[in-house]
Structure 1
Amino acid sequence: MRLLRSTDLALRVLMRLAVAGDTPEATPTTRDVAAAMEVPYTHAAKVVAELQHMGLLEARRGRGGGLALTAGGRTASVGTVVRAFEGDGDVVDCEGATPCPLRSACRLRGALRRAREAFFASLDPITVTDIVAEPTGPLLLGIARAG
């Protein structure tokens, strides 16, 4: 299974904000995040807006503004974040422009759904705080300062 770019970016934004703490890099702007992660600003802005809508981060405008992780963002389940960005669509498209002739008796689609849910379920107990624990957190801070 491969994650969408937006899912990957959402997790990296949350990780970056989780390790920032009280450092000078604590409240980067969306532009800062886009530049540091080498993604288009519009892509980063969409991800930040969704994370804000989910209540995982705050985005403040103006002087002294920037992005900050909320308490809910620190304790957010990685599985919940991944589900939100990946959506609940099927792994394979059995009903596409040329519907699969096996769709009425296929066992593969159900097996793939169960595998997908098992993947999400394995991420459910892991929080954002968990994924930035040592040695990851200090390494992320070093990368942020070097950038």
Structure 2
Amino acid sequence: MQLTRFTDIGLRVVMRLVTAPADTALTSRDLAAELAVPYTHVAKVVSRLAELGIVHSRRGRTGGVAITELGRTARVGWLARKLEGEGEVVDCEGPQPCPLKGACRLRKALAQAQAAFYDALDEHTIDELTGPPTRATLLSLGKPTWTSSSVLKITDTDVGTG
């Protein structure tokens, strides 16, 4: 089973927000930059997460996104189901319906596997996923990383004294 990019981004956004200080609201642009994903994707995900009550989102100059208590305690499988939608693993009805659909056992087996997948994810909360060592990595996302090549060196000739 493979999750959509939308769900992947949604889970990462929630995990990042769990580690943000309580008095801090990150912007969608901050989250996009930190998670290395397009801003437009993050904006759509944040909108959906707000609809679900996972995050609180405020617009404007003092706005931002903050995690709610539901966001901290949500079961991963529940959240993945909400972000993925209720669709089946395969579309047997599509533009050209599958000729096996009337007597196919694969559809039922895939539905059982999908349920087992989500059930396994339900054994974990978002808060649990942000424990060590993940927490340290999430906390470092918002901090600039400095390398010796990125340090500006000012010499006497740069300031006109030499």
Question: TM-score of the superposition, structure 2-length normalised?
Answer: 0.83
Question: Does residue 36 in structure 1 map to residue 34 in structure 2?
Answer: yes
Q: Which runs of 4+ in 1 moved over 3 A?
A: none
Question: TM-score of the superposition, structure 1-length normalised?
Answer: 0.91
Query: Counterpart of 2:5?
Result: 5
What percent identity do the matched residue pairs reach?
50
The alpha-carbon deviation at position 115 of structure 1 amounts to 0.2
Q: What aligned pairs does 1:32-111 form with structure 2 within 5 A after superposition?
A: 32-111=30-109
**Cα distance in 2 for residues equivalent to 1:143 and 1:39:** 13
Tell which has more relative contact order, 1 or 2 (C-alpha 8 A, sep 6+).
1
The alpha-carbon deviation at position 91 of structure 1 amounts to 0.9
Paired residues, what number? Answer: 145
Query: Counterpart of 1:18?
Result: 18
The alpha-carbon deviation at position 75 of structure 1 amounts to 0.4
**Cα distance in 1 for residues equivalent to 2:129 and 2:144:** 21
**Cα distance in 1 for residues equivalent to 2:22 and 2:50:** 20
**Cα distance in 2 for residues equivalent to 1:146 and 1:136:** 18
**Cα distance in 1 for residues equivalent to 2:117 and 2:79:** 13
The alpha-carbon deviation at position 146 of structure 1 amounts to 3.1
SS of the residue 2:66 aligns to: strand
Query: Counterpart of 1:144?
Result: 142
The alpha-carbon deviation at position 22 of structure 1 amounts to 4.3
**Cα distance in 1 for residues equivalent to 2:74 and 2:139:** 20
Query: Counterpart of 2:150?
Result: none
**What letter corresponds to residue 37 of structure 2 in structure 1?**
V
**Cα distance in 2 for residues equivalent to 1:146 and 1:107:** 53
Unpaired segments ≥5 residues, structure 1: none
Over the residues paired in the alignment, what is the CA RMSD in angstroms? Answer: 1.5
Query: Counterpart of 1:125?
Result: 123
Largest Rg, 1 or 2 = 2
